[in-house]
Chains A and B, each alone.
Chain A
Amino acid sequence: MTEKAYAATDKSMGKNNKHAKKIQRTAGDYVISFITYVVYAFFAFVCVYPFYYIIINSISANNLSDSGKVIFYPMEIHFTNYKNLANIPGLSNAAYISVMRTVIGTVLIVIVAAFLGYMFTRETLWKRKFWYRFVVATMYFNAGVIPWYLTMRLLGLTNNFWGYIFPMVVQPFYIILCKTYCESVPKELQEAAEIDGAGTMRVFWQIMLPVIKPILATIAIFAAVAHWNSFQDTLLLMTDEKLFTLQFQLYQYINRASSLKALVNSSTSSSAAAAILAQAATATSIRMTVTVVVVLPVMMIYPFFQRFFTKGIMIGAVKG
């Protein structure tokens, strides 16, 4: 049988036995569906299990978690590790720094993005196009680590809390997002307010800011995550332990076994349960517990703000 003829019979068979063909296709579909379900279950597991693993270990008996016995479920649950966190020198201060930079930094990023995004839509602004490009162009170049560091040192922003804040205030990408959003707001709204005598600033605070709230929520999430996760600026700028962030402290705990030993001793000796092996702090228990503490804020807000995340990347995709 030639190929053509085969195709013809195949076609006619399909016509005559529509029912049979339909069943066949669903069988094929079924197999594909099954495979995709299994494969995606695997992907989901790979992404979630490590978090689960760290969490169950941080609440299991420390001698068991230290020897790798805790793999699937928590054993001999206790929360001493979390109570001991208060005894770890530098940790609460690092948490304070992390929270402060996240709060202050995020508020500034959001307000500045909203304000500049709005100002760049105002045709009256002097040399509007030029200044817009002046800001946006910075997304595409970078002087490099060393010139940046030397600049920061010149400005006295090394070993200075504001070194975390000021360089991140103007974020061109968020400004683009705000500008695009402002442009979609009907011009009549602003014009009406201006006819009623509202100035540039008043239009911004009372008219535009409430209108562009949805995009600001998206930006706030992104900015907060960026600030919370930031590690490199501590590495480059800060040598004063008082200014270390949680991310940086965690890295120190993982990499500096010697300093951790001191931590283990100090947090154990001051704990009443020191004698109980299952609850005595170990290097692993401290590392894992701190990891949970650092990861938890992100995990907590994450499911609630997922729709903002999606919205953010979509707008970004349109512009990018």
Chain B
Amino acid sequence: MSKKKRSYIEFLYILPFILLVGVFSYFPLYGWVYAFHDFVPPKPISSETYVGFKWFISLFSNPVKTADVIRVMRNTLAMSGISLLFSWFPMIFAVFLNEIKSKPYRKFVQTATTLPNFISWVLVFSIAFHVFGSNGAVNKVLQDLGVITEPISFLKSSDHVWFRMWLWLTWKNAGWAAIMYLAAIAGIDEQMIEAAKVDGATRMKVIWHIIIPCILPTYFVIVMLNIASFLSNGMEQYYVFQNDFNRDWIEVLDLYVYNYATAGRGNYPLATAISILKSIVSIFLLTGANTASKLIRGESFI
């Protein structure tokens, strides 16, 4: 068998999977044309339905839609902003967890705090629904302690939604995110820490002058990834937690696109137009963060 022929045959082996990628990842991009048409689902698009940038313009010319977009952007930026602001938490969590001398205890804490990462948002919501419900543990304990007299409806309220969403996100992810830092800490040269201790450095000093600087590059990558996905908070968490009380404060961009497309007589073109704008901004954020990473650390993360 000639080498050339063999290389084609090998390509044939992977062709089915290349086709799958093409169909499920690349072909949907063609759907972006719907944003430029007056598209009402069963009817196919044609040159007659072409409306150019009508939907894009309507986002900014129609006051109702503009208000919607501003509200949704506010929520998106706030939630991503809070996440970014507290993105150091898993790192600090890992640093002090590493200070625990008892290995079984450390393992236990790690196992316990990583568990929530592996359950779905629906389950998180179910847990929230029961633990924070009006007859749930939190309300009962607070009532028994005399802190409150009437149960608080934690879930059916718009108070501090952004922060509460961050808390759930952290509850779910922090233990898992800490693993990466723990690995980075394990990679620090033991001699460096020993030398510092011989010179009289306290534990806090070792943490501050050796451990933190050593794991800062890992943290930097996480921050860059955070920035790159600033507009994409995903919709699942917000979808399960949304209700009539908090919708104005919880609807992020991804959720809004879904809600808008499915509510009432769904407007597919407009929702698609929003997706497109989001994608364009996201690409800029990704390349921007990547360039920043190249400039500061000398390596890209893509």
Contacts and interface: CB of A to CB of B under 8 A. Distances in A.
Contacts of B171: 46-47
Nearest to B123: A295
A229 interface: yes
B26 A231 contact: no
Nearest to A306: B111
Contacts of B108: 44
Given A36-B100, A146-B261, A317-B180, A151 B125 contact: no
Interface in A110-161: 112, 115-116, 119, 122, 124-127, 131, 134-135, 138, 140-148, 150-151, 155
Query: Which among B112, B114, B126 has the highest number of chain A CB atoms within 10 Å?
Result: B126
A298 interface: yes
Chain A interface mostly helix, strand, loop or mixed?
Answer: helix
A291 B127 contact: yes
B101 interface: yes
Contacts of A125: 7, 10-11, 14
B204 interface: yes
Interface in A1-60: 14, 25, 28-29, 32-33, 36-37, 39-41, 43-44, 46-51, 53-54, 57
Nearest to B18: A131
A152 B77 CA distance: 31
A127 B18 CA distance: 12
B40 interface: no
Contact of B118 (A33, A127, A135, A298): A298
B28 A14 contact: no
A47 B112 contact: yes
A122 B218 CA distance: 32
Nearest to B179: A313
B272 A25 contact: no
Interface in B131-168: 131, 135-137, 139-141
A314 to B, nearest CB: 5
B251 to A, nearest CB: 14
A216 interface: no
B275 A170 contact: no
A254 interface: yes
A183 to B, nearest CB: 17
A229 B118 CA distance: 8
Interface in B1-41: 3, 6-11, 13-14, 17-18, 20-21, 23-32, 34
Interface string A186-230: 000000000000001100000000000000000000000100111
A59 to B, nearest CB: 14
Contacts of B28: 143-144, 147-148, 150-151
B169 interface: no
B127 A127 contact: no
B129 A287 contact: yes
A79 interface: no
Contacts of A44: 108-109, 112-113
Interface string A290-320: 0100110011001100100110011001001
B223 interface: no
Given A140-B286, A200-B6, 6 more contacts: A37-B100, A40-B100, A48-B112, A169-B20, A313-B179, A317-B184
Interface of B: 3, 6-11, 13-14, 17-18, 20-21, 23-32, 34, 93, 96-97, 99-101, 105, 108-109, 111-116, 118-123, 125-127, 129-131, 135-137, 139-141, 171, 175-176, 179-180, 183-184, 200, 202-204, 218, 221, 225, 232, 235-236, 239-240, 254, 257-258, 261, 268, 271-272, 275-276, 278-279, 283, 286, 301-302
Interface of A: 14, 25, 28-29, 32-33, 36-37, 39-41, 43-44, 46-51, 53-54, 57, 66-69, 71, 112, 115-116, 119, 122, 124-127, 131, 134-135, 138, 140-148, 150-151, 155, 166-167, 169-170, 200-201, 225, 228-232, 235, 247-248, 250-251, 254, 284, 287-288, 291, 294-295, 298-299, 302-303, 306, 309-310, 313-314, 317, 320
